[in-house]
Structure 1
Amino acid sequence: MRTAIVGAVLLVLGAVAVLTGLLPAADALALWDRVWPILLFVVAVTVVTELAAEAGVFTIVAQQTARWGRGRAWLLWLLVAVVAVLSTIFLSLDTTAVLLTPVVIVLARHAGLDPLPFALTTVWIANTGSLLLPVSNLTNLLAQHAMGDPSPIAFAALMWAPALVGIVVPLVVVFVISRKRLLVRYVTGQEDGIEDPVLFWVSAAVVVALMPLLVSGIPVWMPASGAALVLLVVFAVRRRSVLRFGLLPWQLVLLASGLFLFIEALHANGLGTLLARVSGSGESPLALLRLSVTGMVGANAIDNLPAYLALEPAAGSPVRLAALLIGVNAGPLITPWASLATLLWHQRLTSFDVRIRWGRYMLLGLIVAPVTVILATLALAATA
C-alpha cells in the first residue's frame, strides 16, 4: 500500500505541474505515448506469471530441479541459479523476485537446507541478471526506446558481455560466503502433484510459447497480452476463484506512472542540465564508468527507476545508455529501496518466516554491487 500512496502523490504532483504549465501538456502526452505499451506489458506478464504459478508450473519446475540436483546442495543451488537467470531474462526481474523466491524457499526446506543462500541468489540475480533483453527490466524497455527501438537480438548483442558479468560475479560471491552450507548433501521431501492437469499443461505451454515471442521483434505488449488473455479465459472456465483484482500489479503501475510524470516535470525545469554535469560525456572506459557508477549511486539513493529516468537524457548514445543500465540494474543491491523487486522479495521472505538482517544485506551489497558494476562496465567498453 505504501507503493500505491507514493505513486498517487507523485501523480498528483505531476498533474499540478501540467496544470500550472511547469510541464507542457504536449510533453506529458508524448510521455504517455511512450510508456503505455511498457505499462501494459508489465500488467500482462504479471498476470501470466501469477496464473502460471497458481497452476503449479513453477513448483513442478522446482521439484524437477531438486531431482536433477542428485542430493548435492551445490548442484541444486546452481540449477536454481539457472532457473532464476532464465526467469529474469525472459519473464522480468519481478517474476523472479516475487514468484520464484517462495518456490526456492520451499524447495530448500524440503531438502533440509538453509534457504538463505537460495533466497539471496534469487534477489541478486533478479537485479543483476536483468541486463540482456528489453523484457528483463522496465528500465531496459525505456532504454530500448531511447536507443531507437533496436530488435531484441541487437539489444542483446550490445548487452551480452555486461549481462554475463552481472550473472557470474554475484553467483561467485554467494558461493564463497555460503560454501559451508552448499557443500553438503540433501534428501528431497515429499513432492506435490499436479492439481489440475488441464490448467498446468495449458499454462506451461503458454509460458514456453511466450518466451521466443518476447524476443521475436514483435512489440512485447502484444504477445504478453495475448498470453494473459488465453490464461484468463482458461482459468475463468476451470478455476474462476483465482481471478481477482490482486492479480494486477496496480501498485507497481501506479508508482511507475507517478515516477514517469514527476521526473519528466523535473527534467522540464532543469534537472537534466544538472545531471549532465555529474555524469559527464564520452564513451571511453572512464567516461562509461563515471556514468554507470552515477547510476548505481542514484539507484541506491532514490530507487533504480527514477535514477534511470533522471539520467537518461544525459546518456545520449546506445553505449552510454547501456552503461547507465549497468548502474541502475546491477547496482541496486545495497539499500532495501534501491529496487522494487528487492522490497517485494523481502515481503515474500517475511511471509515464509525467513529472516535476513538489512545490515548484513547492505554490507554484502557494498561488496558485490561496485565490483559487478565496474567489471560489467569494463566488459561493455571492451565489446561495444
Structure 2
Amino acid sequence: MTLAIIGGVLWILGIVALLTGVLPADHAIEVADRVWPILLFVVAVTVVAELASKAGLFDVVAARLARLARRRTAALWVLVVGLATVATAFLSLDTTAVLLTPVVVSMAVARRLDPLPFAFVTVVLANTASLVLPVSNLTNLLASEALGGGHDPVAFLAMLGPSALIVIAVSVVVLTLVFLRRLPRTYPDAASPTVSDPVLLRVSGVVTFALLPLLVIGLEPWMPALGAAVVLVAVFAWRAPRALGIRLVPWSLLVFAGGLFLAVGALEALGIGRITALLAGTGDDLRALWQVAGVGALVANGINNLPAYLALESVAGSPARLAALLVGVNAGPIVTPWASLATLLWHERLRAAGVEVRWSRFIALGAVIAPLILLLGVLPLAL
C-alpha cells in the first residue's frame, strides 16, 4: 500500500510537470513507448510465478532438492543457492523474494533447521544474482534498451557475465562463512508437500520450465512471458477459478514504476543531469568505473535502486560505465532495507511466516558484502 501511495504522488507530480510544460509531451510519449513492454513483462512473469506457486511447483522443487541432498545440510545449502540463482536470473529478483522465501523457510523448518540462513540466501541472491540476464531485473531491461541492441541475452552476458559470476561467488562465500557453520551437518527427513491438483502442478511445471529458454533466445521478453501467463490463466480458469483474481497483478509496483518514470523525466527536464554528471564523473578507466558503481550503490541505498538507475542512466555514457552502474544499483543495494523493493517484500514474507529478523543483522551483513562486490565486480569491466 505504501508503494502505491508513493507511486500515486509521483504520478500527480509527473502530470503537473506535463500540464505546466516542464515535461514536454513528446518526451513523455518517448518514455511511455520505452516503458510499456518492460512493465508488461513484469506483469506477465509475476502472474506466471504466482500461479505456479499456487499450484505448488516451488514447494515440490524445494522438497525434491532436500531429498536430493540426502540429509546433508551442506549439499542442501548448495542446492538452495542454485535454486535462488536460477529463479532470480530467469524469473526476476522479486519472484525470488516473494515466492521462494516462504518455500525455503518452510522447507528448513520441516527439517528442523534454522530458517534464517536460508532466508538470507534468498534475499542476498535475489539482489546480487539479478545481474545475470536482462529479465533478472527491471534495471537490466532498461539498460539493455538503452544500449540499443534490444534485450539480447548473449550480448548482455558478454558484457556483465564475468561481473555477475564474481558478485554471486563473493555473496555465496560470505553467506557460507557466516551461516553454514551454525547449522547441523545433517537433518531428518520430512513429509512431501501435499499437492491439491496434480494436473495444475504438471501444467505449471511444463509452462514454467518451457518459459525459461524462451526468455533467452532473443525474443522481446514480454512475448513469451505473456504467452505463458495466458496459458496458465486459461488452465486455472478451468481447474481452479477461485485462484484467479486482480491481486495476481502487481498493481503497487506498476503504479510506483510508472509514476517514477514520469517524475524522473521531469527532473531531467529541469536539469538534474548536471548534478548526476558531477557525481558520476567521466571515463572508462577502473577508477572511473568504481566511481559510477559506488555512486549508484550509495544513491540506491539512500533512496531505492530503480530511481538511482533512472537518475544516473543518462550520465553513464558508455557500455562499460552502464555495466558498472548496474553492478552498483543491482548488487549494491543490500545495506539499507528500502534500497531494493525485493528486500522489503522479503521481510514482509518472513513476518507472514512467523520468522523475525533484525534489520541491524541485515545491515551488518550487507555492509560486509556490498563493498566487496563493488570492488571485485567492477574489475572485469576495465579489462
Smaller-chain TM-score bracket: over 0.9
What is aligned with 2:141? 141
Q: Look up the equivalent residue of 1:75 and give its one-letter code.
A: A
How far 1:179 sits from its partner (Å)? 2.9
How far, CA to CA, are the matches of 1:67 and 1:29 in structure 2? 52
What is aligned with 2:101? 101
How far, CA to CA, are the matches of 1:7 and 1:133 in structure 2? 27
Alignment deviations for residues 299-324 of structure 1 (CA, whole Å, 9 cap, x no partner): 00010000000000000111111000
After TM superposition, list the pairs within 5 Å mapping 1:368-379 onto structure 2: 368-379=369-380
What is aligned with 1:23? 23
Secondary structure of residue in 2 paired with 1:130: helix
How far, CA to CA, are the matches of 1:353 and 1:193 in structure 2? 21
The percent of aligned pairs where both chains have the same amino acid is 55
How far, CA to CA, are the matches of 1:356 and 1:323 in structure 2? 31
After TM superposition, list the pairs within 5 Å mapping 1:1-384 onto structure 2: 1-150=1-150, 151-382=152-383
Secondary structure of residue in 1 paired with 2:33: helix
Q: Look up the equivalent residue of 2:265 and give its one-letter code.
A: E
Aligned-residue Cα RMSD (Å) equals 0.9
Secondary structure of residue in 2 paired with 1:368: helix
Structure 2: which 5+ residue stretches go unaligned?
none
- Equivalenced residues, count: 382
Alignment deviations for residues 48-68 of structure 1 (CA, whole Å, 9 cap, x no partner): 000000111101100001001
In 2 relative to 1, CA 170–183 (structure 1 residues): closer, same or farther, beyond 3 Å?
Answer: farther
Q: Is the 8 A contact 2:117 2:180 kept in 1?
A: no
Q: Look up the equivalent residue of 2:97 and give its one-letter code.
A: A
In 2 relative to 1, CA 75–182 (structure 1 residues): closer, same or farther, beyond 3 Å?
Answer: farther
Moved more, 137-146 or 70-79: 70-79
Q: Is the 8 A contact 1:77 1:182 kept in 2?
A: no
Q: Is the 8 A contact 1:175 1:182 kept in 2?
A: no
Moved more, 289-298 or 357-366: 357-366
How far 1:183 sits from its partner (Å)? 4.8
Q: Look up the equivalent residue of 1:88 and give its one-letter code.
A: T
How far, CA to CA, are the matches of 1:350 and 1:365 in structure 2? 20
How far 1:230 sits from its partner (Å)? 0.4
Q: Is the 8 A contact 2:334 2:366 kept in 1?
A: yes
How far, CA to CA, are the matches of 1:193 and 1:350 in structure 2? 23
Alignment deviations for residues 239-295 of structure 1 (CA, whole Å, 9 cap, x no partner): 000001111101011111111111111011111111011101111111100000000
How far, CA to CA, are the matches of 2:2 and 2:189 in structure 1? 39
How far 1:192 sits from its partner (Å)? 1.5
How far, CA to CA, are the matches of 1:41 and 1:166 in structure 2? 25
How far, CA to CA, are the matches of 2:355 and 2:149 in structure 1? 41
Q: Look up the equivalent residue of 1:51 and give its one-letter code.
A: L
Moved more, 150-159 or 128-137: 150-159
Q: Is the 8 A contact 1:113 1:181 kept in 2?
A: no
Q: Look up the equivalent residue of 1:328 and give its one-letter code.
A: V
Q: Look up the equivalent residue of 1:288 and give its one-letter code.
A: L
How far 1:194 sits from its partner (Å)? 2.6
Secondary structure of residue in 2 paired with 1:117: helix
Which 4+ residue blocks in structure 1 deviate beyond 6 angstroms?
none
Moved more, 143-152 or 321-330: 143-152
Q: Look up the equivalent residue of 2:381 and give its one-letter code.
A: L
Structure 1: which 5+ residue stretches go unaligned?
none
